[in-house]
Amino acid sequence: MRNQLLLIEDVDDLGRSGDIVSVKPGYSRNFLLPQKKAVIADKYTLRLQAKLKEERAKLAEVDRKEAEEMAQKIEGMVLSIEVKVDPDGHMYGSVSALDIARLFEQEGFKIERRNVVLAHPIKTLGIHPVSLKLKEGVPAHATLKVHSGGVIAMPEEAQSIPAEPEV
């Protein structure tokens, strides 16, 4: 059995403010209702729904303008990150969406990790395109240069360990 709720705030992957959604009882009881992101939908909440949709439309227009301005500033931007590599040129770890969001933050843009669109973390050196999905679905594109910050050599002891234990 699913509950009908009226969303008071936008909830990622569920709906926007003013939408009536159907969710499982546990999700509504444990998250949406205690966080005051939704109220139970009944005949008395219809007036509230109209008000919320009107407010959401105004907010969406403001968000879209801000996102378009930010996208114009970001478009064509080149970011650079230095990573550690082994003697063969392979990266230790990878560059994730969080790393990219932090790079944008250093440049003065407030970008969240969820705004960075990456199919998988970047695991190779070179130049990589980065796509962003800003508020209201406004797209932006930048370039990320991943370069080595130096080669990490293996310690002498690790190189001299015999392959088979001595008996």
Give the pLDDT confidence of 5-60 residue by residue, as tens digits: 989 888 888 988 888 899 999 999 999 999 999 998 888 887 788 888 888 889 88
Domain at 75-156: CATH architecture: Roll (3.10)
Instruction: Return the domain boundaries, the chain.
Output: 3-63, 75-156
Fold of 3-63: Ribosomal Protein L9; domain 1 (3.40.5)
Q: Is the pLDDT of residue 132 over 90?
A: yes
- DSSP letters of the chain? --EEEEESS-BTTTB-TT-EEEE-HHHIIIIITTTTSEEE--GGGHHHHHHHHHHHHHHHHHHHHHHHHHHHHHTT-EEEEEEEE-TTSPBSS-B-HHHHHHHHHHTT----GGGEE-SS-B-SSEEEEEEEE-GGG-EEEEEEEEEEEEE-PPPHHHHT--SS---
Give the pLDDT confidence of 108-127 residue by residue, as tens digits: 999 999 899 998 999 999 99
Q: Given this model, what pLDDT does residue 151 score?
A: 57
Q: Given this model, what pLDDT does residue 16 score?
A: 86
